Amino acid sequence: MASPRNTLNGFGYLLNDTARLLRRRFEQKAGGYNITSSQWRAMAQLSRNDGLTQVALAHMLEVEPMSVCRLVDRMEAGGFVARRPDPADKRAKLVYLTQRSRDLLDVMKVVAAEVYEDAFAGFEEDERLRLVGTLNRINANLSEVVAVREEEIA
């Protein structure tokens, strides 16, 4: 019988690899829309929090601010976002979705749903619900301990 320790060997790798494969499949299916998974993630964050600074967007995407700067540069050149001055900080720019992005979000949600269908092929509905529920519990557990740790550091 496998010990709990052996059962969890590779758990983090498996989660990360699954996320990587989801991103790759998304990029395959969304290739015709000329948008990357990084741009999609940025658009998704901005759809919930339009008008973020690049630093705040970088924090939410868990990447370096310089990486977000380049990402936003490409998105702005593609007409997906617009930068506007931050009235509270003359040095900062706020990033907003354009109408082009807003129109594309609905299409990208359909593409994402197709990717999830690919991922869940052969799963019964109760298996899907149980897996998503379990991942939500793991997320809540880790969110709680990460928040406590960040409060201790601050």
What does the DSSP assignment read for 68-105? HHHHHHHHHHTTSEEEEEETTEEEEEEEEE-HHHHHHH
**Amino acid 32: pLDDT:** 85
pLDDT category, 154, cuts 50, 70, 90?
low
Residue 17 is predicted with a pLDDT of 94
Average pLDDT, integer, range 11-39 = 89
**Is residue 85 over pLDDT 70?**
yes
Distance, in Å, from the CA atom of 100 to the CA atom of 81, rounded to the nearest integer, reads 8
Structure tokens at 56: 């705040």
pLDDT at residue 152 in the model? 66
Interval 9-21 mean pLDDT:
91
Which of 25-39, 61-75, 113-127 shows the lowest mean pLDDT across its residues?
Answer: 25-39
- Computed over every residue of the chain, the mean pLDDT equals 89
What pLDDT shows up at residue 92? 86
Lowest mean pLDDT among 69-73, 111-115, 146-150: 146-150
* Nearest-angstrom CA–CA distance, 47 and 97: 7
Give me 102's structure tokens. 């807003």
